[in-house]
């Protein structure tokens, strides 16, 4: 219910288009000679209750419309606001609670929720990419006994892209070359399997399991993914503490787990954090089938054309192929993804 002076009506006009129509009726109607009773102004959307010589009540039925293409575009223009956020009372990472009653921990969590909520373009891209890549990552985590929350670690590591850091960490999981080779990935001028999402996710799982065994918690394992097992272990010993939230760390690692949890919270509850989209706005995987190759490929452009696609599309689906040809003197078997017909051109 709104109770206010007529002089203040203008501040409510933006609430809903029907408010403007109702206020126009109020300001341009003489009520002293009108019959007592109910009067429809805009069908049954706006009802005026007329008493003796006055307007007794005005009912504006301004429920939010169902989300359609038309009102979605209007909301893009009219619904921008910036709010302080309510940090949820209970947050956790991989089932391990975050001690939000600690005011310093609370502020760090609040910071990451604010930064990632109001970096709207990046946030919306994360929703779009998550729809495309989470279905690949999730079953691999589950198979290896890794908590599902670690898919959000990939989000903050690379934005779910095949990024390359200044330290040359590569791919969605940002794996260093030495770590990749130690865990069985091929890395050379022709092939770099750090760009292979399924295989790199398997390596990330191996690394995380080793960290969890060494450090004792999933939260510390996540921090170690950024700072290394040795770095985290050394700081725990130096500061005589046993958990991440009691550690004084550098800027990047100190924010790391909070960023993961912030992205988890936002991606799980888009409506709470002001992200509006339709299912059709999100990205999806183009269906593919696999072709086995166990010989040298002299020209991937001609190889791609043999399947009715071009070199660019071949590389989009197989970013781990790093050159225009493949040296394969040993006859190693590679599985190359080819998109099914009808999705390009």
Contacts of residue 252, defined as CB under 8 A and 6 or more positions apart, other chains included, come to 226, 227
Residue 311 lies in a domain: yes
Question: Do 112 and 244 sit in the same domain of this protein?
Answer: yes
Please indicate, yes or no, if residue 1 is contained in any of the structural domains.
Answer: no
Is 345 within a domain?
Answer: no
Same domain? For 212 and 311 the reply is no
The predicted-structure confidence for 70-128, as pLDDT tens digits, reads as follows: 666 666 656 667 788 999 999 999 999 999 999 999 999 999 999 999 999 999 999 99
What is the rounded distance in angstroms from the CA atom of residue 225 to the CA atom of residue 150? Answer: 11
Q: What angle do CA 161, 167, 168 make, to 5 degrees?
A: 50
Note whether residue 131 is domain-resident.
Answer: yes
On whether both 18 and 159 belong to a single domain, the answer is no
Instruction: Kindly state whether residue 77 falls inside one of the protein's structural domains.
Output: yes
51 plus 85 within the same structural domain: no
- Domain containing 182 — which CATH number? 1.10.530.10
Please report whether residue 301 resides in a domain: yes
Domain count, the chain: 3
305 and 207 within one domain:
no
Nearest to 112 by CA among 326, 299, 273: 273
Distance CA 74, CA 171 (A): 38
Domain span at residue 12 reads: 6-60
Weakest-pLDDT range from 24-28, 92-96, 178-182, 243-247: 24-28
Q: In this structure, are 25 and 87 located in the same domain?
A: no
Instruction: Quote the tokens at residue 76.
Output: 């893009």
pTM score over 0.85:
no
The pLDDT tens digits of the residues spanning 266-300 come to: 999 999 999 999 999 999 999 999 999 999 999 99
Has residue 220 been placed in a domain? Answer: yes
- Same domain membership, residue 200 and residue 226: yes
Task: Please check whether residue 296 lies inside any domain of the structure.
Answer: yes
One domain, residues 93 and 199: yes
Residues 226 and 84 in one domain: yes
Of the given ranges (54-58, 125-129, 320-324), which has the lowest mean pLDDT?
54-58
18 plus 47 within the same structural domain: yes
89 and 235 inside one domain:
yes
CB 197 within 8 A of CB 157: no
Q: What is the DSSP letter of 278?
A: -
């Amino acid at each position: 219910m709104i109770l206010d002076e007529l002089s203040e009506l203008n501040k409510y006009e933006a609430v809903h288009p029907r408010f403007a129509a109702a206020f126009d009726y109020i300001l341009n109607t003489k009520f002293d000679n009108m019959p007592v009773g109910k009067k429809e102004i805009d069908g049954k959307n706006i009802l005026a209750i007329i008493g003796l010589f006055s307007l007794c009540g005005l009912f504006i039925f301004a429920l939010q419309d169902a989300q359609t293409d038309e009102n979605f575009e209007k909301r893009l223009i009219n619904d921008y606001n910036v709010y302080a956020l309510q940090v949820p009372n209970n947050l956790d990472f991989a089932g391990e609670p975050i001690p939000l009653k600690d005011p310093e921990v609370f502020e760090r969590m609040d910071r990451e929720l604010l930064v990632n909520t109001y970096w709207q373009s990046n946030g919306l891209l994360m929703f779009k990419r998550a729809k495309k890549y989470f279905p690949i990552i999730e079953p691999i985590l589950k198979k290896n006994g890794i908590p599902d929350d670690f898919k959000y670690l990939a989000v903050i590591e690379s934005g779910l892209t095949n990024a390359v850091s200044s330290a040359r960490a590569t791919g969605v999981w940002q794996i260093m070359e030495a770590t990749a080779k130690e865990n069985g990935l091929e890395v050379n001028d022709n092939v770099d399997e750090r760009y292979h999402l399924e295989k790199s996710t398997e390596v990330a799982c191996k690394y995380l399991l080793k960290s969890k065994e060494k450090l004792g918690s999933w939260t510390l394992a996540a921090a170690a993914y950024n700072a290394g097992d040795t770095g985290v272990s050394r700081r725990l010993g130096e500061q005589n503490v046993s958990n991440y939230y009691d550690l004084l760390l550098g800027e990047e690692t100190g924010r790391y787990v909070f960023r993961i949890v912030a992205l988890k919270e936002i991606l799980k509850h888009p409506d709470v954090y002001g992200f509006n989209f339709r299912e059709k706005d999100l990205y999806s995987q183009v269906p593919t089938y696999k072709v086995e190759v166990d010989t040298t490929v002299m020209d991937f452009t001609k190889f791609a054309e043999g399947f009715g696609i071009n070199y660019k599309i071949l590389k989009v689906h197989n970013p781990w192929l790093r050159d225009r040809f493949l040296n394969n003197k040993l006859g190693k078997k590679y599985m190359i993804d080819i998109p099914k017909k009808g999705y390009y051109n």
